[in-house]
Structure formats: structure tokens, C-alpha cells
């Protein structure tokens, strides 16, 4: 099997003052916390957003594994809706030391390039900074971080920089070159 070189960049903010908000897009775009942990909905978001950019690590998760993950204190999913339709999401995975990872962030292919991503990242990052206010027992957030790679959308890195994230690590690895699975077996994105 052939391989492809993948560069992964890790970025961070170390203060809420680092966040540079994006302007809200025009139209009826709303961002809502998914307060009821739902493996079905979380898997839908994961597969639909990541299907064309090789998000595959969670596709084999069982219902029980999704539920266990989503039930952890501080794990949150914030969903952007465009006129009532899910357009993308941001998911937090907090640690006990006040570090919050933006574990997943992205838009469904049909909603990319419409200025929703900057708004969702801004709003989501602000919610990562105030996570402890919603979760008694979690320490105050002292650092928000994420990673992106060469498989992600072409505007991802620029969006992270515009929102005030700074690079702190770079890794280059060889990975198997495989076609993106799409949001379900046999599906392919048209973009």
C-alpha cells in the first residue's frame, strides 16, 4: 500500500484574551449546545464532517463507547445550524489540569466557504474558556488547544491563526494513502 506524508500542527491559546472573534455570518446561523449526550447525533456529526477528510478513528466505536465518552464531565458538543440544518460542530475534551482540547471542529461539506467556520470556532473557543462555569468540579480553563493537519480543509490553519491560536508543535508522519470513506460506506463527497 502506498503512503502519504501528513503534517500535523498543534496550536494553543493560553489566555481568553488570545481569542480574536470572527464576525457572525449573515443569515440565520445559530450555535447551540447539544445538552443531551447522544451517540447517534455525535456519530452523525463526526462522520458527516470528517467523511471526506479521513476522520476514521471513531468510526469503529460502539454505541457504549460513544456514550461513555459523551458522559464524561465537561465533554461538550456545540452545533452550528444554518436555517435549522446542522452545518458543523465543535467538541471539547477537557482534562483535570484545566487544559481543554478542541477534539473536533469542522463543517459539513455543503457549508464550507460560507464564513460559518470562523464564527463557530470563535464561539466554541469562548465556550472552552468558560467551560468550568457550566461544570462545577472542573478547574478553570488555563489553556485551549487543538490540532490540524494537511488532510484538513485548505482554510483550516488560516482560520486558527485568525482566531488567535499559536503553533506549539509540528509532526510529520507517513500514513497509508486511502480514499476518504465519505459520511457512510459507499458515499463520496461531491466537493
Decide: pTM greater than 0.85.
yes
- Looking at residue 191, what is its pLDDT? 43
Query: Tens digits of per-residue pLDDT, 143-179?
Result: 999 999 988 878 899 999 999 999 999 999 998 887 7
Residues 6+ apart with CB under 8 A from 15: none
Sorted by where each starts, the structural domains of the chain and their CATH numbers stand as 3-176 (3.40.630.30)
- Looking at residue 184, what is its pLDDT? 62
Helical spans, DSSP H, in 21-80: 39-50, 63-70
- Looking at residue 187, what is its pLDDT? 56
Question: What are the CA-CA distances from residue 7 to residues 34, 76, 104, 152, 162 (Å)?
Answer: 31, 27, 17, 10, 20
Least confident span in 16-20, 23-27, 90-94, 123-127: 23-27
Residues 6+ apart with CB under 8 A from 5: 150, 172, 173, 174
Amino acid at each position: 500500500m502506498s503512503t502519504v506524508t501528513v503534517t500535523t500542527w498543534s496550536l494553543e491559546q493560553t489566555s481568553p484574551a488570545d481569542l480574536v472573534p470572527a464576525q457572525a455570518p449573515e443569515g440565520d446561523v445559530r450555535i447551540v449546545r447539544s445538552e443531551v449526550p447522544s451517540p447517534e447525533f455525535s456519530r452523525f456529526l463526526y462522520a458527516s464532517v470528517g467523511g471526506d477528510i479521513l476522520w476514521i478513528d471513531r468510526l469503529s466505536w460502539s454505541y457504549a463507547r460513544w456514550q461513555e465518552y459523551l458522559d464524561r464531565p465537561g465533554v461538550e458538543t456545540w452545533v452550528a445550524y444554518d436555517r435549522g440544518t446542522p452545518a458543523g460542530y465543535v467538541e471539547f475534551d477537557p482534562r483535570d489540569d484545566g487544559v481543554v482540547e478542541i477534539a473536533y471542529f469542522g463543517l459539513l461539506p455543503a457549508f464550507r466557504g460560507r464564513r460559518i467556520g470562523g464564527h463557530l470556532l470563535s464561539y466554541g473557543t469562548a465556550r472552552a474558556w468558560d467551560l468550568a462555569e457550566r461544570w462545577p468540579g472542573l478547574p478553570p480553563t488555563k489553556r485551549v488547544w487543538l490540532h490540524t493537519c494537511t488532510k484538513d480543509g485548505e482554510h483550516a490553519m488560516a482560520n486558527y491563526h485568525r482566531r488567535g491560536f499559536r503553533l506549539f508543535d509540528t509532526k510529520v508522519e507517513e500514513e497509508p494513502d486511502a480514499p476518504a470513506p465519505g459520511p457512510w460506506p459507499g458515499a463520496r463527497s461531491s466537493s
